[in-house]
Amino acid sequence: MSENKSEETFRVIDRRPFTAEGDVRKEFVEQEEREAARAAAAPPAPVAEEKAAVPAKETPKALPAFENLVRMLGSNAAMVLGAYADPRTGQPMLDPDAARDLIDMLDALREKTLGNLAPEEDSMLLDLLGKLKMTFLEITQAMQAAQAKAKGRG
């Protein structure tokens, strides 16, 4: 590579409003005065017209199909978290990985629909997610404690 590069220089500009002694810098006062004069000379923006041109956003309506989708995913998550017994064995079904996947699906659904749900849909989804996450946490902690206990005996 060539060593004949021109040496680059840079300049540091102190933009602080006060000097080391605590006095207001002359440049800062002048800049404030220029900005105030510009603001006074500029015509006021037509704010009222802009607001009238943008229609008010309507509250979305609740859709039974959306609620059914959320309930179906929630029921499946609850099932693999042990809320229902396996019909063949009579034992609770525990599959934390499947539960995590279903909870993640509900989280993604909430994130992607944020601001587009009716208030009752958003509330239902948020409540369901809170309950499922709490149950998931309790189940995984209990399973870890049981595994630790089994290792201690072995």
Residue type, 55: P
The predicted-structure confidence for 31-62, as pLDDT tens digits, reads as follows 777 777 776 776 665 555 555 555 667 888 99
Task: Please give the residue that has the higher pLDDT: either 87 or 82.
Answer: 82
pTM of structure = 0.60
Q: Where are the domains of the chain?
A: 64-153
Mean pLDDT of 54-75: 88
Q: Strand pairing partners for 18?
A: 24
- CB-count exposure of residue 25 (10 Å: 0-12, 13-18, 19+): middle
Q: CB-based contacts of 21: which residues, under 8 Å, 6+ apart?
A: none
Dist CA 127 CA 136 (whole Å): 14
